[in-house]
Structure 1
């Protein structure tokens, strides 16, 4: 299976709350208390518009305004914002509105995350039983890695649950794998700013990190040794979606005294095999 090339897909929603706030909060803005309340109300109303269209299939501005209990001009501004982001589209022949493809994108992103966690569960359980350490699946969320699944092996020492928590891209094995396959803009963004030090072993030199990322793409896996937590090491490999893009990273982590660097190549083969199996279940075939 080829492991180089392709961009990792971020789970970050394309929707920006600031857009609603700027359009709907009025001259008061979002800095003061009144502006903040108006912004929250605008977001709530915008979501209600989506629910109305989902329930009725299509609706006009007058219908939406009536259900929301607002003036038509307010309903029109709400719909205009949603339309500008692709969440609502107008039916040219009747002047009514329906849900747009932007909603499908969000639904697809949510479904993909659920698929990764659900499809990966048995694979994680099998790998955790095999290597007797903790196995995680993480996805890219803007400038961090977020864990969506975790299985602890029989010898795992830590009881910490990482599911739902974000970790730095430059200091974790999953993060580095995701960053290595990320879009150029994401990669350049991380490499251009100060890299936070978590332990004495954390890589804070952008050029050194760049070399690590290039090596990950070349060899198909990444690793860390006490770069995020003292005494913890980890190995990770990329998981690909049906289109071949990297959508997640599968990792094994454990105490350094059991997971020394000399063990990494052999462990990496198991991790890559499990990541490849998950990729196939998600529709990717080399």
Structure 2
């Protein structure tokens, strides 16, 4: 792995549960020696991507991230487009709605609107979604460029729960099913008691660039419930694709 890639991957360890991380912890998480990690942290601090608390000596995301995020949003208005779509989707379905875009090797969550129900699925903002273990990942991969799909099938597929697909042949079969019906489902393959249903978000080239999804407690799932989710998700995914400047390919169809 290239040095720049290694450095940028350190940013992926910061999340809602770990907004600040110490040098030793980052070295442990990344598997990189402390001296190298410290050098990478220093380089990113100079560009504003990271900063260090002078009292605790822990590291956190820097103000440079905000500047880049504003530039990204101005040029490619993801939040402005997706937020109202997610709000409507959560209201119509009564479930948590979320959107993700390709970020490195997996999908990065770029928007979440939680269900108003007391029994609901919580999704951490910025959560990374493995392509093989989530409905969003399956929906993306099934409609991604052929070379991307082929690369995913050559990976070592980590087992996250007892039902996570870890065999490439099994995953290839699931991707074919997703491609045929137009949406993906995943029952407790990433998190216990969570059922996901997702559809791809297409880019201007007609290939998937992310996914729009619904997460519901597995206890609420039934054939009728799934049919309702598909019916609500289909127009929402279409609106999101078009709103982001994408193009829905002719071969993509939704089978309710």
TM range (shorter): 0.5 to 0.7
- How many Å separate the matches in 1 of 2:133 and 2:37? 36
Q: Which residue of 2 aligns with 1:209?
A: 171
Identify the structure with bigger relative contact order (alpha carbons < 8 Å, sequence gap 6+): 1
Taking a change above 3 Å as real, the CA distance of residues 119 and 160 of structure 1, as seen in their structure-2 partners, is: same
User: Which residue is equivalent to 1:147?
Assistant: 109
Aligned counterparts, 1:258-269, within 5 A: 258-260=220-222, 263-269=225-231
- What is the rounded CA distance, in whole Å, between the counterparts of 2:169 and 2:6 in structure 1? 36
How many residues are matched? 204
Give the aligned partner of residue 178 of structure 1: 140
Structure with the greater alpha carbon radius of gyration: 1
CA contact (8 A) 1:233 1:260 kept: no
Cα drift, residue 159 of structure 1: 6.3
Could you report, residue by residue, the CA deviation over 1:31-82 in whole angstroms, capped at 9, with x for unpaired residues? Answer: 784x77766666777x69xxxxxxxxxxxxxxxxxxxxxxxxxxxxxxxxxx
Cα 1:203–1:273 change in 2 (3 A) is same
RMSD: 3.3
Give the alignment's TM-score, normalised by structure 2.
0.67
**Given the alignment of the two structures, is residue 221 of structure 1 paired with residue 183 of structure 2, yes or no?**
yes
Q: 1:136 to 1:19 in 2, by over 3 A?
A: closer
TM-superposed deviation, 1:265: 3.6
**Could you tell me whether the CA contact under 8 Å between 2:94 and 2:117 is conserved in 1?**
yes
- Which moves more between the two structures, 179-188 or 115-124? 179-188
> If the length of structure 1 is used for normalisation, what is the TM-score?
0.60
Separation in structure 2 between the aligned mates of residue 215 and residue 195 of structure 1, nearest angstrom: 19
CA–CA separation in structure 2 for the residues paired with 1:206 and 1:36 = 33
Alignment of 1:41-120 (within 5 A): 110-111=72-73, 115-120=77-82
Residue aligning to 1:58: none
Is 2:235 aligned against 1:279?
Answer: no
The whole-number CA distance in structure 1 between the counterparts of 2:75 and 2:227 is 28
Distance 1:43 1:231, change over 3 A: closer
User: Does 1:132 pair with 2:94?
Assistant: yes
Find the residue that maps to 1:200 and give its secondary structure.
Answer: coil
| Deviates most, 221-230 or 125-134 | 221-230
Distance 1:17 1:151, change over 3 A: same
**1:225–1:233 Cα contact (<8 Å) kept:** yes
- Answer whether contact 1:191 1:206 (CA < 8 A) is retained: yes
Instruction: Give the C-alpha shift of residue 202 in structure 1.
Output: 1.4
1:40–1:172: structure 2 CA closer, same or farther, 3 Å change rule?
A: closer
Post-superposition CA distance 1:89-146 (Å, at most 9, x none): xxxxxxxxxxxxxxxxx99993489622220100110010000000000111222221
CA, structure 1 residues 205+197, in 2 after alignment: closer, same or farther (shift >3 Å)?
Answer: same
C-alpha displacement of 1:151: 0.2
Segments of structure 1 that go 5 or more residues without pairing to the other structure are: 1-14, 21-29, 49-105
The offset of 1:244, in angstroms, is 2.7
Name the residue aligned to 1:199: 161
